[in-house]
Amino acid sequence: MGSTERIKNVAKRVAKWHDAGHKIVVVPSAMSGETNRLIGLAREIMPEPDQRELDMIAATGEQVSVGLLSMALKAIGKEAVSYAGWQVPIKTDSAFTKARIQSIDDARIKSDLDAGKIVIITGFQGVDEQNNITTLGRGGSDTSAVAVAAAINADECLIYTDVDGVYTTDPRIVSEARRLKRITFEEMLEMASLGSKVLQIRSVEFAGNYKVPTRVLSSLTDPMMSLEEEAQSGTLISFEEENNMEQAVISGIASSRDEAKITVRGVPDRPGIAFQIVGAIADGNIEVDMIIQNQSLDGKTDFSLTVPRNDYARAMDILNTKVKAQIGAIEIIGDNHVSKVSVIGVGMRSHVGIAAQMFKTLFDEGINIQMISTSEIKISVLIDEKYMELAVRALHKAFELEKI
Ligand code: ASP
Ligand code: MG
């Protein structure tokens, strides 16, 4: 919600659903740019802000939104009531700036809904055991919305955002990218963890764990568009067993430039080496993604892993100073011009040969694969970043995603 004009539009849209006989809970996030502004203020005072106080500040953006939206609804004749997280309450743990929701009391929400009111609850925030205000991490209002939907057993959770759904791949890379009408929550989870910013990953986990049908749709459409049309728009995150036979084998291609590869060369092939290498990096709070260890030759082997590009220099430093001599490695080499491209699809479970088709497509384009990792519904490859977009385009075509 970028302006009071936009808030009035949200109110119209909500009123439209309410007029059609639905009970509605709305979970807004802060007005556009507001959370950044608040965090900026905090940093002006304290460059590394105290986490509890930071949450106190950051959570206010949502409090403004709920009050304004409630007023906008009242102004058009609807009964509405706004709540901050602590008033519901939405209970979380005490991990300030990245708290996890533990429970949501549905009593007050349900009695307001039964009384015909539209209930508006702050996204992004909660309250811990000691009544401290907490926040759920950036993008956390997605998670608040799905969690509230789960708590009240909602028929559907609609997430209105600035894109009109989930696409087969990034439309900026492939202009033929298609909006998916449905995606399974497992696929969505892979997409979110591979860097798609459509939804906060935890909201997808919630949707999966509590089986909340969740739809991603655009907040930029005409608020008075027909309910039938709106109810079919966007992308529905569904559950595999509900999907029909037409399910495509591959649903999407994800890519991430944010990668770096590090190889520890000539390490002794004995127990504990993987632990020492990966453990040291984990102690530096750096996430390791892909890992390979080669077959050993004369008792020596190479060990490669990938880390987020932002953490590359630090990871190299940790390995050079804390690991190399200790484990007797010959050298540590790195490359921060690599990218990851992944094909995702639950259809892989029932189709063989997807990996071969992927590798052949890359081979046909002359793209060398440096590392591979797979899960039941995903195959990822690490390649030179120069070829990332080419790879995405070629794979999109090879798996005929423009026909979805
Ligand atoms: N306002 C919070 C943020 O900017 C939460 C959200 O928008 O989902 O991260
Ligand atoms: Mg958001």
5 CB burial (10 A radius; 0-12, 13-18, 19+):
exposed
Is the pLDDT at 243 greater than 70? The verdict is no
The model's confidence at residue 26, banded by pLDDT at 50, 70 and 90, is: very high
Cβ of 256 below 6 Å from ligand 1: no
Q: What is the DSSP string of 12-47?
A: HHHHHHHHTT---EE---PPTTHHHHHHHHHHHH-S
DSSP 44-111: HH-SS--HHHHHHHHTHHHHHHHHHHHHHHHHTT--EEEE-GGGTTEEE-S-TTS--EEEE--HHHHH
Closest by CA position to 145, among listed 25, 247, 260, 231:
25
Ligand 1 closest atom vs CA 139: 8
Beta strands in 136-181 (DSSP E): 157-161
Point out the ligand nearest to the CA of residue 29. 1
Ligand with an atom nearest the CA of residue 31: 1
CB 61 less than 6 A from any atom of ligand 1:
yes
Which ligand gives the minimal distance to the CA of 97? Answer: 1
Among the listed residues 197, 99, 200, 186, the one whose alpha carbon sits nearest the alpha carbon of residue 143: 200
Structure tokens at 272: 């504990």
Give the chain's radius of gyration (CA, Å). 24
Q: Is the predicted pLDDT of residue 31 greater than 70, yes or no?
A: yes
The predicted pLDDT at position 106 comes to 97
Report the share of the chain in percent with pLDDT over 70.
98
Which numbered ligand comes closest to the C-alpha of 65? 1
> Over 70: is that where the pLDDT of 284 sits?
yes
Per-residue pLDDT for 292 more than 60? yes
Q: In the structure, what pLDDT confidence band is assigned to residue 68 with cuts at 50, 70 and 90?
A: very high
Mean pLDDT in residue range 11-15: 98
Helix H or strand E encompassing 338:
strand 331-344
Q: How far is the CA of 347 from the centre of ligand 1 (A)?
A: 33
Q: Residue 242 — pLDDT band, cuts 50, 70, 90?
A: low
Return phi, psi of residue 76, to 5°.
-105, 25
pLDDT at 167: 94
Q: How far is the CA of 199 from the centre of ligand 2 (A)?
A: 7
Q: Which of 26, 27, 29 to mutate to test the pocket of ligand 1 (most atoms within 8 A of CB)?
A: 29
Q: Residue 245 has what pLDDT? A: 55
Binding site membership of 196 for ligand 1 (Cβ less than 6 Å):
no
- For ligand 1, whether the C-beta of 263 sits within 6 Å is no
pLDDT of 275 above 60: yes
Q: What is the pLDDT of residue 225?
A: 96
How many angstroms separate the CA atoms of 59 and 169, rounded? 33
The most distant pair of C-alpha atoms in the chain lies apart, rounded to whole Å, by 80
- The pLDDT confidence band at residue 13, using thresholds 50, 70 and 90, is very high
pLDDT digits (tens, 9 = 90+) for 109-166: 999 999 999 999 999 999 999 999 999 999 999 999 999 999 999 999 999 998 999 9
Residue of 355, 335, 353 whose CA lies nearest to 343: 355
- Whether residue 140 has its Cβ less than 6 Å from ligand 1: yes
In the predicted model, what is the mean pLDDT of the chain? 94
- 77 CB-near residues (< 8 Å, 6+ apart): none
User: Residue whose CA is closest, atom 9 of ligand 1?
Assistant: 138
Q: How far apart are CA 315 and CA 307, in angstroms?
A: 8
Assessment of whether the complete model's pTM goes beyond 0.95? no
Instruction: Give me the pLDDT at residue 40, please.
Output: 97
Averaged pLDDT for residues 294-303: 87
Q: Tokens 């309910």, residue?
A: 227
Over 70: is that where the pLDDT of 341 sits? yes
35 lines ligand 1 (CB under 6 A): yes
Residues 161 and 171: their CA atoms lie apart, in Å, by 16
Instruction: Please give the distance of CA 125 from its chain centroid, rounded to a whole number.
Output: 18
Q: Whose CA is nearest to atom 8 of ligand 1?
A: 139
Q: H or E stretch including 238? A: strand 235-238
Our mutation pick for probing the ligand 1 site, out of 35, 101, 160, counting the most ligand atoms within 8 A of Cβ, is: 35
Give yes or no for residue 143 CB within 6 A of ligand 1. Answer: no
Q: How confident is the model at residue 246 (pLDDT cuts 50, 70, 90)?
A: low
Whole-angstrom Cα distance, residue 274 to residue 294?
A: 12
- Residue 157 · residue 149 · CB < 8 Å: yes
Ligand 1 neighbour 262 (Cβ under 6 A): no
pLDDT at 36 over 90: yes
Residue with tokens 């890992």: 291
- Distance of CA 366 from the midpoint of ligand 2 (Å): 39
pLDDT for 294: 82
Distance 7 CA to ligand 1 centre (A): 16
Q: Where are the domains of the chain?
A: 4-241, 252-403
Q: Determine what percent of the chain falls in helix, strand and coil, rounding each to the nearest 5.
A: 40, 25, 35
The angle formed by the CA atoms of residues 253, 258 and 262, to the nearest 5 degrees, is 110
Q: How far, in Å, are 127, 219, 337, 367, 386 from residue 389 at the CA level?
A: 43, 29, 14, 11, 8
Q: What pLDDT does 194 receive? A: 84
* pLDDT exceeds 80 at position 240: no
DSSP string, 239-294: -GGG--TT--S--EEEEEEEEEEEEEEEEE-STTHHHHHHHHHHHTT-----EEEP
Q: Whose CA is nearest to atom 5 of ligand 1?
A: 139
- Whether residue 342 has pLDDT greater than 60: yes
pLDDT, one tens digit per residue, over 184-232 is 999 999 988 887 778 999 999 999 999 999 999 999 999 999 999 999 9
The reported pLDDT for the residue numbered 247 is 64
- The CATH architecture of the domain made up of 252-403 is 2-Layer Sandwich (3.30)
Beta carbon of 73 within 6 Å of any ligand 1 atom: no
**Alpha carbon of 2 to ligand 1 centroid (Å):** 13
pLDDT given for residue 239 in this prediction: 85
pLDDT category, 1, cuts 50, 70, 90? confident
CATH hierarchy code of domain 4-241: 3.40.1160.10
**Confidence class for position 378, pLDDT limits 50, 70, 90:** very high
